[in-house]
Amino acid sequence: MQPSAQPGSRPNRATKAEPRPTLTCDPAGDAGAKEAQESKVLRCRYPTMGLVCPPRSARFWAVGGLPGNYKTQLLWNMALNMAECHLRTLFVSLELTPGEMALRALARFSGIPLNRIEKALTKHDRVALPGSYLAKFEKAKAKIENLLM
């Protein structure tokens, strides 16, 4: 029982006790609980992944697997989704150059196949994009310039 401020008076029961922090035996567990409370759940536009391992702010993801299973493409699309949601995004790849990543983003946002864009941009054997693709290409280019990446 708390001592009262004045002798002979009853303790004030109207004030609620502050909630006690959750403590575990492991200080790392305590730090993890605190980080989980402070972090923000992010939308990745992949509902199943959001249920299995929801992305949170201030987290680092490493994805492994055999070559050729589209890991980079999956995570690049997720990064673009998050950037579209106005979330600051950092994407690091040792596999793709920034130019290749930009071409993949152009293909995604324009709906034009990547190999078609590459053929239109090569120096040798260039095949121009038809007029219907040019408008989509320019619109996708403007969209990429406004992403927070």
Residue 44, pLDDT score: 74
Long-range Cβ contacts of 6-12 (<8 Å, 24+ apart): none
The DSSP 8-state label assigned to residue 10 in this structure reads: P
Contact status, residue 149 vs residue 91, Cβ threshold 8 Å: yes
pLDDT in tens, 81-137: 888 888 888 888 888 899 999 999 999 999 999 999 999 888 887 888 888 898 999
pLDDT in tens, 44-96: 777 777 777 777 777 777 788 898 888 888 889 988 988 888 888 888 888 88
Question: pTM for the whole thing?
Answer: 0.62
Residue 97, pLDDT score: 92
Residue 11, pLDDT score: 55
Residue 132, pLDDT score: 87
Q: What are phi and psi of 115, to 5 degrees?
A: -65, -30
- With tokens 């002798």, the residue in question is 7
Provide the sign of the torsion angle of the four alpha carbons 48, 49, 50, 53, taken in this order. Answer: positive
pLDDT in tens, 2-49: 555 555 555 555 666 666 555 556 777 777 778 777 777 777 777 777
- Kindly tell me if the per-residue pLDDT of 146 is higher than 60: yes
